Structure 1
């Protein structure tokens, strides 16, 4: 029963995932914006330290986002577009 519910959820998200994957980056301003707003690493991962000892660890929660892979791919496409097509230095976004 649970696997049936899981497959129905992924089927509902599949068109959105495919739409995100099919996006092409063709404008430098859009590519720069995407590189600025999509973080290079998960901003939620934290180590809580007290006197240089880790007392708690919060794992990266970004993987829970069902569109995480597609969003990271869009950022990568944007970086590649800026580096290859626009010949820009992308170290600002890394």
Structure 2
């Protein structure tokens, strides 16, 4: 697997929305609704996951094994041929999905770039 030498830490992604000739980021829109600041209960956990630095080989292997490569599949629960209910893809239920998948990506990049291992069995 050919992994680029740059990782997600080297990139900064910003989303801009054009409103009334002003550039406003999505963070500004989410934090300011009607003049009130929104309290995000998961923000401390998000920043811990985003700032976690993978620098141990065993930790990187453990993260790659524990975190799935793709969003788990959705299901229809049926009984006697009738659909009782629908389970959506589980990634839509996890509010920290982006942060966890980025952590897995950083672990894969560490194993491939720093350790020189083949990470194709994790994909």
The alpha carbon displacement at 1:62 in A equals: 1.2
TM-score scaled by structure 1?
A: 0.75
Partner of 1:88: 117
- Provide the rounded CA distance (Å) in 2 between the counterparts of 1:44 and 1:81: 28
Q: Which has the higher contact order (CA 8 A, sep 6+)?
A: 1
**Count of residue correspondences:** 83
Contact 1:47–1:58, Cα closer than 8 Å, also in 2:
yes
Which structure shows the bigger proportion of residues in helix conformation?
A: 1
TM-score scaled by structure 2?
A: 0.58
- RMSD, aligned CA: 2.4
Which structure shows the bigger proportion of residues in strand conformation?
A: 2
| Structure exhibiting the larger radius of gyration computed from Cα positions | 2
The alpha carbon displacement at 1:57 in A equals: 6.5
Partner of 2:74: 45
Shift in alpha-carbon separation, 1:40–1:47, aligned structure 2, 3 A: farther
Q: Give secondary structure in 1 for the equivalent of 2:42.
A: helix
Shift in alpha-carbon separation, 1:91–1:47, aligned structure 2, 3 A: farther
The alpha carbon displacement at 1:42 in A equals: 1.6
Deviation beyond 6 Å, 4+ runs, structure 1: none
